[in-house]
Structure 1
Amino acid sequence: MIRVLIADDQHLVRMGLRMLCESAGDVTVVGDAADGHRAVALAARLVPDVTLMDLRMPGLDGAAATERITAARPDARVLALTTFGDDDHLYPALAAGARGFLLKSAPPEELLDAIRRAAAGGTPFSQEVLGRLVERAVSARAETAPADLTPREREVLVLVAAGLSNQEIAARLHVGATTVKTHVAALLAKTGCPNRIRLAVFAVRAGLAPG
Structure 2
Amino acid sequence: MHILLLDDHFIVRQGYRSLLAAQYPQAGILEASDGEEALSAVQQRVPDLVILEVSLPGISGIETARRLLQRWPLLRILFFSMHDELPLVRQALAAGAMGFITKGAGREVLIEAVKRCLAGHRYIEQELAIQLACSADDSRLDPRLECMTPREFEIFVMLSKGLAPRQIAHHLCLSSKTISNNLTSLKQKLEVTSLTELVHLAIDTGVIRLHGLVGRQAG
Task: Please confirm whether the aligned pair reaches a TM-score higher than 0.5, indicating the same fold.
Answer: yes
- Secondary structure of 1:138's counterpart equals coil
**Is 1:74 matched with 2:73?**
yes
Give the conservation status (yes or no) of the 8 Å contact 1:79–1:99: yes
Structure 1 unaligned residues grouped into runs of 5+: 143-211
- Secondary structure of 1:68's counterpart equals helix
The aligned counterpart of 1:16 is: 15
Kindly tell me: are residues 29 and 138 of structure 1, through their superposed partners in 2, closer, same or farther at Cα, counting changes over 3 Å?
farther
Identity within the alignment, %: 30
Counterpart AA for 1:52: I
Give the conservation status (yes or no) of the 8 Å contact 2:54–2:60: yes
- 1:140-151 equivalence runs, <5 A: none
For 2:30 and 2:24, how far apart are their aligned partners in 1?
17
Q: Deviations over 1:9-56 (max 9, x none)?
A: 111111111011011145624311111121122122221101101011
Counterpart AA for 1:75: L
For 1:35 and 1:140, how far apart are their aligned partners in 2?
36
Superposed displacement of residue 141, structure 1: 9.0
For 2:61 and 2:95, how far apart are their aligned partners in 1?
10
Kindly tell me: are residues 57 and 100 of structure 1, through their superposed partners in 2, closer, same or farther at Cα, counting changes over 3 Å?
same
Q: Deviations over 1:156-187 (max 9, x none)?
A: xxxxxxxxxxxxxxxxxxxxxxxxxxxxxxxx
- Secondary structure of 2:5's counterpart equals strand
For 1:70 and 1:32, how far apart are their aligned partners in 2?
18
- 1:10-49 equivalence runs, <5 A: 10-25=9-24, 28-49=27-48
- Secondary structure of 2:78's counterpart equals strand
**Is 1:102 matched with 2:101?**
yes
For 1:115 and 1:26, how far apart are their aligned partners in 2?
14
For 1:80 and 1:27, how far apart are their aligned partners in 2?
23
Structure 2 unaligned residues grouped into runs of 5+: 142-219
Work out the number of aligned pairs and report it. Answer: 141
- Secondary structure of 1:5's counterpart equals strand
Instruction: Give TM-score, length-normalised by structure 1.
Output: 0.60
For 1:18 and 1:125, how far apart are their aligned partners in 2?
21
Superposed displacement of residue 138, structure 1: 2.4
Give the conservation status (yes or no) of the 8 Å contact 1:44–1:69: no
Instruction: Give TM-score, length-normalised by structure 2.
Output: 0.58
